[in-house]
Chains A and B, each alone.
Chain A
Amino acid sequence: QKVSVEVLDHLEHLALVDFRDSEGVERLQKAIQFADQLHEVNTDGVEPMDSVLEDRWCLYLREDDVTEGNCTKQLLENAREKVEEYFVAPPGNIPLPKLEEREAFLQGS
């Protein structure tokens, strides 16, 4: 049962990472096949496990006090594009080009 081109395209949008070539798509197919083995296991009545520390530890809240910060200059040092104390991003709200318009590999599938 092969993954449809629509799903592949959807994944590229969600992940903002590309399959690049047929090898990439094959890799996903094999990963799904591998994961399907999970369905051999009977998990009736079994609760999903979020954390191995579930018995020991309750996620705690701390007091709403400012204990650190004031490191704006330091944090901006690693950013490539900045203006004053802002990180600069290209314009948002512009969706990725549709499948037909992309030069990405999936066009050829």
Chain B
Amino acid sequence: AALNDGLRSQVSAALKEGRVTPTELCQRCLALIKSTKFLNAYITVAEETALKQAEESEKRYKRGQPLGILDGIPIAVKDNFNTAGIETTCASNMLKGYISPYNATVVQKLLDHGAVLLGKTNLDEFAMGSGSTDGVFGPVRNPWSYSKQYKEKSVPRSHSEDEESNWVITGGSSGGSAAAVSSFTCFAALGSDTGGSTRNPAAHCGVVGLKPTYGLISRHGLIPLVNSMDVPGILTRCVDDAAVLLGSLAGHDPKDSTTIQDEFKPFELPNLTDVSKLSIGIPKEYHAPGLSSEIVALWSKAADLFKNAGAKVVEVSLPHTRYSIVCYHVLCTAEVASNMARFDGLEYGHRSDMKDSTESMYAATRREGFNDVVRGRILSGNYFLLKQNYEKYFVKAQKVRRLIANDFVKVFRSGVDVLLTPTTLSDAAPYMEFIQEDNRTRSAQDDILTQAANMAGLPAISVPTALSERGLPVGLQFIGRSFQEKQLLTVAKWFEKQVQFPVIQLEEVKRHDNGVFQHQKSASFS
């Protein structure tokens, strides 16, 4: 069986042929969610509604009228997307108990295609963070912490030392979604990506993470962080599956005026065999301080892979790369200051008991509802937006943003088709180590390789490449031209086929496996 094309040629085929039913699939995923509860990937499991959706799907298959490839497929959604009738918390006290009155457009589209919504996944509070460690429901654990591959490589300091203290983070902020896909509890998941929040955890959890071009997929119903950069993200186990999800989600939405009006045509990915006409750019500034030597080696090996197959591989320069994080810091906090103003306790969410005045109620509500990270960004954002600072910081950052976006335009204009870069600075850190530094420092460090693509609105994808010396996944990133997702994914799929990233070996999954969950094992790249 092919490693690629899980949804179309394996699961969907099995459903059509009746080898497995949507209800069986749903039940197995729900059981697996229960037995992997220690990962803390899910905030809400919508068991009843999921089983109902599976039942409806089964009826359609029996009639021979499935809605498409996604009919009956269990998926998970990050908990910052509105889901009608299901609690949406953004992992914050501010929205605990908030039951969405509507579905985000992307959620509605998935349901219209027959997908089965298993539940809402865990994240950093309001998607602010790069570890999925700062939400009110606790941190998400990377499934690879419990893999045979990681356990074999870790040296216990003493016999009594628990694997409890050794577990590694998922990365973030869409860590729950990445963990859910990685541990086979769903076949695909939605994340969001503002500075790398889909690609970062994808790389750490060994799954595919796609950030589409800004304006391609509707943000209606995605609780906003940075309106000019947010996009819904797609997490899957292979590149073909990402293309399937993209096909069902992309396109103009009248409810989101930042989606482009051009018609989107869903596509199947060709099996590229000849890369001689391809030009791959290697941006030298992505050799960032702190990049692990392991990842430098893998990056180099990947470039050689393309070169040896006949592609043109050139070093390019994106001179303003190192300012992208600073620029993001200002623009993000400014937009956050504005977006978070809606949380005042009046119409939804947490409301303080303070009654003295409107302002004091708002202040108390926000004091009680937001964590330090969120409050810190709101205050910084307000600072940069003060009359005396507006030109100096906010407008200045907007100018630098143009310079960053122009860097990419120049490089793509020079004939480069796709850029190849690392996704993260290293493999996943142990939780105990990660929390030594504060959220802002961590985000600044971890977002360095992913953030510029958000700044310029470009599509980017992280593809699992190899296991590190510690037995943990490492991903590499491809950045493409605006709205050229087909080209980007075609190259990514070719690369995925070459590297043959190993399947995670989890005890939990072995117990529930029936072959539909796992693809064939294969030799690894490293």
Interface residues of A (CB under 8 A from B): 3, 7, 10-12, 14-20, 23-24, 27-28, 30-32, 34-35, 37-41, 43, 46-53, 56-57, 59-60, 62, 71, 74-75, 77-81, 87, 89-92, 94-97
Asked if residues A43 and B399 are in contact (CB atoms below 8 Å), the reply is yes
Known: A31-B380, A56-B260. A18 touches B330 (CB 8 A): no
B393 on interface, CB distance cutoff 8 Å: yes
The 10 closest A-B pairs by CB, nearest first: A52-B457, A48-B398, A94-B357, A78-B348, A43-B399, A49-B402, A31-B380, A80-B351, A46-B399, A92-B358
CB-based contact B363/A46 at 8 Å? no
CB <8 Å contact, A49 and B326: no
Name the B residues within 8 Å of A48 (CB-CB). Answer: 395, 398-399, 401-402
A51 B398 Cβ-Cβ under 8 A:
no
| Partner pick for B399 among A49, A60, A90, CB 8 A cutoff | A49
In-complex Cβ contact of B379 among A17, A87, A90 (8 A): A17
22 of the cross-chain contacts (CB-CB < 8 Å) are A10-B386, A12-B379, A15-B378, A16-B359, A17-B379, A20-B372, A24-B375, A27-B380, A35-B329, A39-B396, A48-B398, A49-B398, A52-B215, A52-B456, A53-B258, A53-B457, A57-B260, A74-B101, A78-B348, A90-B356, A92-B358, A96-B363
Contacts known (A38-B393, A39-B396, A49-B402); A18 close to B359, Cβ less than 8 A: no
Choose among A3, A34, A37, A78 the residue that contacts B349 (Cβ–Cβ < 8 A): A78
Query: Number of residue pairs across A and B with beta carbons under 8 Å?
Result: 178
Interface residue? B383 (CB, 8 A) = yes
Cα separation A27 to B345 with both chains bound (whole Å):
26
- Scoring B residues 174 to 188 as 1 if CB is less than 8 Å from chain A, else 0, what string do you get? 000000000000000
SS of B interface (majority): helix
B83-123: CB near A (< 8 Å → 1, else 0) gives: 00000000000000011010000000000000000000000
Nearest Cβ on chain B to A54's Cβ, whole angstroms: 9
The residue in chain B whose Cβ has the minimal distance to the Cβ of A13 is: B359
Q: Does chain A have a CB within 8 A of B81? A: no
Give the Cβ gap from B494 to chain A, nearest Cβ, in Å. 27
A23–B258 Cα distance when bound, in Å, is: 38
B366 at the interface (CB under 8 A from A): yes
B60 at the interface (CB under 8 A from A): no
- The reply to whether the CB of B327 lies closer than 8 angstroms to some CB of chain A is yes
CB pair A11–B360 under 8 Å, yes or no, is no
Does B333 make an interface contact (CB < 8 A)?
yes
A38 contacts B214, CB within 8 Å? no
Bound together, the chains give a CA A16 to CA B375 distance in angstroms of: 10
User: B274 within 8 Å of A by Cβ?
Assistant: no
Is there contact, CB below 8 Å, between B346 and A89? yes
Contact call A17/B367, Cβ cutoff below 8 A: yes
Report B-chain residues with C-beta under 8 Å of the C-beta of A78: 98-99, 101, 347-349
Closest to A61 in B: B257
For A42, the closest partner residue in chain B by CB is B403
State whether B366 touches A90 (Cβ < 8 A).
no
Query: Which B residues touch A10, using CB under 8 A?
Result: 386
Q: Is B412 an interface residue (CB 8 A)?
A: no
Interface string of B201-225 (1 = CB under 8 A from A): 0000000000000110000000000
CB distance from A79 to the nearest CB of B (A): 5
Q: How far is the CB of B360 from chain A (nearest CB, A)?
A: 6
In the assembled complex, the CB of B433 is this many whole angstroms from the nearest CB of chain A, namely: 21
